[in-house]
Copies of this chain bind each other. A is one copy, B any other.
Amino acid sequence: MTRQRLYLYDTTLRDGQQTQGVQFSAAEKAEIAQMLDRLGVDYIEGGWPGANPTDSDFFAQAPATRATMTAFGMTKRAGRSADNDDVLAAVMNAGTPAVCLVGKTHPFHVREALGIPLEENLDNIRASVAHLVAQGREALFDAEHFFDGHDEDADYALACLRAALEAGARWIVLCDTNGGTLPERVGQVTRAVIAAGIPGDRLGIHCHDDTGNAVACTLAAVDAGARQVQGTLNGLGERCGNASLTSLIPTLLLKEPYRSALETGVTAEGLAGLTRISRRLDEILNRPPARPAPYVGASAFAHKAGLHASAILKNPATYEHVDPATVGNERIIPMSNQAGQSNLRARLAEAGIGVGRDDPALARILDLVKAREDAGYAYDGAQASFELLALAELGRMQHYFTVERYRVTVERRKNALGKRISVSEAVVVVQIGGERMLSVSESMDAEGHDRGPVNALWRALAKDLGPYQAAIDDMHLVDFRVRITGGGTEAATRVIIDSADGQGHRWSTVGVSPNIVDASFEALVDAIRWKLVRDRVVPA
Contacts and interface: CB of A to CB of B under 8 A. Distances in A.
Given A20-B380, A480-B484, A321 B210 contact: yes
Contacts of A293: 240
A180 B323 CA distance: 12
Contacts of A307: 74
Given A212-B247, A380-B20, A52 B239 contact: no
Contacts of A517: 410, 422, 424, 452-453
A286 B481 contact: yes
Interface residues of A, number: 131
A239 B250 CA distance: 17
Contact of A54 (B337, B453, B487): B337
A513 B450 CA distance: 9
A302 B223 contact: no
A365 interface: no
A321 B410 contact: no
- Kindly report how many copies of this chain are found in the complex they form together: 2
B239 A183 contact: no
Interface string A497-529: 000000000000000011111100100000000
A474 interface: no
A485 B479 CA distance: 9
A484 B479 contact: yes
Interface string A22-36: 010101000000000
A210 B521 contact: no
B516 A516 contact: yes
A90 to B, nearest CB: 14
A270 interface: no
Given A19-B292, A210-B321, A412-B405, A183 B183 contact: yes
6 contacts: A19-B292, A212-B251, A290-B290, A452-B514, A453-B516, A479-B484
Given A53-B337, A452-B518, 16 more contacts: A18-B304, A23-B336, A27-B486, A52-B370, A178-B320, A183-B183, A211-B295, A213-B215, A240-B292, A240-B297, A403-B412, A406-B411, A424-B515, A445-B489, A450-B515, A452-B516
Interface of A: 17-21, 23, 25, 27, 51-54, 74, 108-109, 112-113, 177-180, 182-184, 209-213, 215-217, 219-220, 223, 235, 237-241, 244, 247-248, 250-251, 255, 286, 290-295, 297-308, 310-311, 314-315, 317-322, 332, 334, 336-338, 370, 373-374, 378, 380-381, 403-414, 422, 424, 443, 445-447, 449-454, 478-487, 489, 491, 493, 513-518, 521
